[in-house]
Amino acid sequence: MGFTAERMGLIDSSGIRKIFALAATMKDPINLSIGQPDYDVDEACKEVAIAQIRGGFNSYTQTWGIEELREAAAEYYATKFSAPLGNVMVTSGVSGGLFLALMATVNPGDEVLFGDPYFVMYKHLVNLLGGHARGVDTYPDFKLTPERVEAAITDRTKILLINSPANPTGVTLNKAEITALVEVARRHKLLVISDEIYESLQYDEAPATAAGLYEHVIVLNGFSKNAAMTGWRVGFAAGPEEIIQHMNTLQQYTFVCAPSFAQKAAVQALKTDMTERVTAYRRKRDIIYEGLKDNFKVTKPGGAFYIFPEAPQGDGDAFVRKAIENGLLIIPGSVFSDQKTNFRISFASPDETLKRGLEVLNRLATSV
């Protein structure tokens, strides 16, 4: 008899991590796989963090985080969306917040709906907790619509998970579209979890939020994507008091608290002007979309820094293998979906890297 828990059979190693490991063994790969910004943390945020470390702010904080950051997060939503957050807690990144939110709400047998394609953690965390992860097919436009959600709801459905802008597709939902989804959840008495980590990286429409639309909404946001603080592990959650209190209790016994000095720096990060970065990524989005559209079926992303083309002949796994053989690292769509027709590109890379990647992709597409 082995010592491994049976629940570990419900999840597998991230396909993205496997690509990262492969990248470490390759000489000068064209890396369009990694989902993190290609800019560094702002100097102002670094200075705050350094000052806090040197000043001795290195101990545990309260489990729910420092009051300064909780208030700043609420104010950020009040200023940007006219939707001040209530019951804010600081989490160890959005991934930590997602784990706590699902731990606090999912019972064995509960169904959690989310769009397919989906961020890899959604399915595996729900399965780990004994719930039923149900991807709602959004191909070919990748829009999670009220009609698609309504058709998927059963008497066991408990949670609707929304992600906009979305990983891996970059597709966005505007205010009207999010409101319509929340109304479906209201009618069916579902809890909404809104993953808004990419909300500041939108290129064509105004950013939108589910905050303030319904009393049963948990909002998750953080600093890994807009502030490039991927390794600092700071995010925040807000929502119904009872659930947030349960999440806080769980945090006491898991993450304990987010890193202390990083919480102080995150207050500064909420003041960052994203205009220059959004402009730069909009241009990168245009480079990658215009470079792909003649040889691939591809939906133009409206946010984040991903694009999700269909592979030639509809086999994303086989196409990714060919790409890797040609020194290009991309992620097979099957990592994010019940289908394997597509592949994910991250365009959070220097322009020259994007152009080198496009050359390989188009050469492979036209040689099939």
Digit-coded pLDDT (tens) for 70-110? 999 999 999 999 999 999 999 999 999 999 999 999 999 99
3-class SS at 332? strand
CB atoms < 10 A from the CB of 230, how many? 16
Q: Which residue shows structure tokens 């709400």?
A: 105
Q: What pLDDT, on the 0 to 100 scale, is given for residue 25?
A: 72
pLDDT surpassing 80 at residue 12: no
- Pick one of 3.90.1150.10, 1.10.275.10, 3.30.930.10, 3.40.50.300 as the CATH number of 6-41+274-367: 3.90.1150.10
Q: Give residue-wise pLDDT tens across range 315-331.
A: 999 999 999 999 999 99
Give the mean pLDDT of the chain: 94
CA atoms of 358 and 82, how far apart (whole Å):
41
Domain ranges of the chain: 6-41+274-367, 44-269
Which residue carries 């049963």 as its tokens?
216
* Cβ 298 vs Cβ 307: under 8 Å: yes
Per-residue model confidence (pLDDT) at position 347: 97
* For residue 365, pLDDT beyond 60: yes
Per-residue tokens: 206: 């105004």
CATH of the structural domain 44-269, one choice from 3.90.25.10, 3.30.1490.190, 2.10.50.10, 3.40.640.10: 3.40.640.10
Q: Quick check: helix, strand or coil at residue 320?
A: helix
Contact 162, 137 (CB under 8 A): no
Residue where the block lists tokens 């979906």: 337
Residue 223 above 70 pLDDT? yes
User: H helices of the chain, where?
Assistant: 15-25, 43-54, 67-81, 93-105, 120-128, 146-152, 175-187, 241-252, 260-269, 275-292, 316-325, 351-367
* Lowest-pLDDT choice from 28-32, 306-310, 337-341: 28-32
296 has a pLDDT exceeding 80: yes
According to the model, what pLDDT value does residue 4 have? 83
